[in-house]
């Protein structure tokens, strides 16, 4: 019998990480719930999961910088990406009406993304929780009739709650990008057209621009560049770069040339671009 693909997620069932996992792999998976991003890496490292789905950037909150460090330190392969629109709803027990609500609870970032809505209803006390889905589960488990959770539609479906107000997020174009991680770096998909790489450059003038110029000359498009200080080393940085290309030959040539101008160069993963929201 074929065993289900095991996917480690940060958070519990019906969190945005599980929704992203469903979008990438389909519903026929086994999600492995973890309390932290580091725990998802440990689970993958110990072969207790086949993949990790890890948030890497949000269109409002920006990059999740510690996650870049985790991917590099565990030396996992980035094998895919998925973009998820962040749609936030008010979830309550069946039968609860809006006027019954005294408390709204969710993850602090989700709360911040709904400030405009709650300014209109100052009578609702907003309380921070540790996870959007966990707040929904608590309402179900404790039968809280005066409390709503700010969470996704998957949480409503999973925990048997009603959506009493839809799309309360302030920015309707908010999305999160997730990376799909695997332990083994050897196997590469056909049709790859995107890569995530990491490197350092020397201290001389124009060191980084030399690298960027090589990509430009070979029509390799930079879609993201992120710098992070090297721990304990003054004025030294890791650069995390996402690149896309139309010609695999141009990409191969660019990588060969870039190697001469970088140190600690690492191809974190080569995969198929998947930016549909």
Looking at residue 50, which CATH number applies to its domain? 3.40.190.10
Tell me, yes or no, whether 221 and 238 share the same domain.
Answer: yes
Q: What is the DSSP letter of 2?
A: P
From first CA to last CA, the distance across the chain in angstroms is 34
pLDDT at position 189: 73
Q: Which of 25-29, 165-169, 199-203 has the lowest mean pLDDT?
A: 199-203
Tell me, yes or no, whether 77 and 178 share the same domain.
Answer: yes
Tell me, yes or no, whether 12 and 33 share the same domain.
Answer: yes
Whole-number percent of the chain with pLDDT over 70: 99
3-state secondary structure of 232: coil
Tell me, yes or no, whether 42 and 178 share the same domain.
Answer: yes
Phi/psi for 246 (5° steps) reads -100, -30
For residue 267 the two structure tokens come to 């191809």
pLDDT at position 266: 95
The answer for residues whose C-beta is within 8 angstroms of residue 59's C-beta and 6 or more apart is 171, 173, 174, 175, 176
- The domain total for the chain is 3
Q: Which of 58-67, 124-133, 140-149 has the lowest mean pLDDT?
A: 58-67
Q: What is the mean pLDDT of residues 57-86?
A: 94
pLDDT at 277 over 90: no
**Domain that residue 237 falls in:** 194-271
- Among 129, 153, 182, give the residue marking a domain's end: 182
Tell me, yes or no, whether 259 and 143 share the same domain.
Answer: no
pLDDT at 209 over 90: yes
pLDDT at 186 over 80: no
Residue 187 lies in a domain: no
Decide if 268 contacts 75 (C-beta within 8 A): no
Q: What is the rounded average pLDDT for all residues in the chain?
A: 94
Residue 155 lies in a domain: yes
Q: Dihedral (C-alpha) 203, 205, 208, 214: value to the nearest 10 degrees?
A: -130
DSSP string, 42-63: HHHHTTS-SEEEEEEEETTTEE
For the four alpha carbons of 265, 51, 252 and 206, in that order, the dihedral sign comes to negative
State pLDDT tens for residues 68-80. Answer: 999 999 999 999 9
Tell me, yes or no, whether 66 and 178 share the same domain.
Answer: yes
pLDDT at position 2: 65
The answer for residues whose C-beta is within 8 angstroms of residue 38's C-beta and 6 or more apart is 70
162: which strand partners?
Answer: 92
Tell me, yes or no, whether 244 and 135 share the same domain.
Answer: no
The answer for residues whose C-beta is within 8 angstroms of residue 227's C-beta and 6 or more apart is 237, 238, 239, 240
* Residue among 207, 206, 195 at smallest CA distance from 241: 195
Residue 256 lies in a domain: yes
pLDDT at position 231: 84
- Among 150, 182, 214, give the residue marking a domain's end: 182
Tell me, yes or no, whether 93 and 138 share the same domain.
Answer: yes
Q: What is the mean pLDDT of residues 8-23?
A: 97
Residue 213 lies in a domain: yes
**pLDDT band, very low/low/confident/very high, at 1 (cuts 50, 70, 90):** low
Q: What is the mean pLDDT of residues 115-132?
A: 95
Count Cβ atoms below 10 Å from residue 263 Cβ, excluding itself.
10
Which CA distances in Å does 176 have to 56, 225, 237, 275?
A: 8, 17, 25, 11
Residue 13 lies in a domain: yes
Looking at residue 252, which CATH number applies to its domain? 3.30.70.260
pLDDT at 42 over 90: yes
The answer for residues whose C-beta is within 8 angstroms of residue 183's C-beta and 6 or more apart is 44, 45, 47, 76, 77
Q: What is the mean pLDDT of residues 48-66?
A: 93
Tell me, yes or no, whether 150 and 266 share the same domain.
Answer: no
Residue 103 lies in a domain: yes
* Residue among 242, 176, 192, 175 at smallest CA distance from 79: 192
pLDDT at 153 over 90: yes
Tell me, yes or no, whether 102 and 225 share the same domain.
Answer: no
pLDDT at position 178: 98
**pLDDT band, very low/low/confident/very high, at 96 (cuts 50, 70, 90):** very high
Residue 247 lies in a domain: yes
Tell me, yes or no, whether 33 and 60 share the same domain.
Answer: yes
Residue 131 lies in a domain: yes
For residue 33 the two structure tokens come to 């719930």
Q: Supply the angle between the helices 37-45 and 65-74 in degrees, to the nearest 10.
A: 10
- Among 154, 182, 210, give the residue marking a domain's end: 182
Tell me, yes or no, whether 128 and 262 share the same domain.
Answer: no
Decide if 232 contacts 165 (C-beta within 8 A): no
State pLDDT tens for residues 211-245. Answer: 999 999 999 999 999 999 888 888 889 999 999 99
pLDDT at position 273: 96
Compare 273 and 62 and report the one with higher pLDDT.
273
Decide if 124 contacts 118 (C-beta within 8 A): yes
């Amino acid at each position: 019998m074929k065993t289900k693909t095991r996917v480690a997620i940060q958070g519990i069932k019906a969190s945005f990480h599980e929704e992203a996992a469903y979008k990438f792999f389909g519903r026929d998976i086994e999600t492995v719930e973890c309390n932290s991003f580091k725990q998802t890496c440990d689970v993958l490292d110990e072969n207790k999961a086949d993949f990790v789905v890890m948030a890497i950037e949000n269109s409002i909150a920006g990059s999740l910088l510690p996650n870049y460090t985790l991917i590099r330190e565990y030396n996992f392969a980035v094998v895919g990406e998925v973009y998820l629109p962040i749609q936030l709803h008010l979830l309550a027990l069946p039968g609860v009406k809006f006027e019954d609500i005294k408390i709204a609870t969710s993850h602090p970032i989700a709360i911040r993304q709904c400030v405009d809505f709650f300014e209109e209803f100052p009578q609702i006390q907003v309380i921070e929780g540790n996870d959007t889905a966990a707040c929904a589960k608590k309402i179900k488990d404790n039968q809280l009739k005066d409390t709503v959770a700010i969470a996704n539609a998957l949480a409503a479906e999973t925990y048997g709650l009603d959506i009493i107000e839809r799309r309360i997020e302030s920015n309707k174009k908010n999305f999160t990008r997730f990376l799909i991680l695997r332990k083994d770096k050897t196997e590469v998909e056909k049709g790859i057209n995107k890569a995530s790489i990491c490197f350092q450059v020397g201290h001389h003038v124009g060191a980084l621009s030399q690298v960027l110029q090589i990509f430009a000359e070979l029509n390799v498009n930079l879609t993201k560049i992120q710098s992070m200080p090297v721990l304990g080393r003054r004025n030294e940085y890791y650069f995390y770069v996402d690149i896309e290309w139309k010609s695999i030959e141009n990409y191969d040539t660019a990588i060969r040339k870039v190697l001469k101008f970088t140190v600690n160069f690492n191809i974190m993963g080569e995969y198929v671009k998947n930016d549909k929201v």
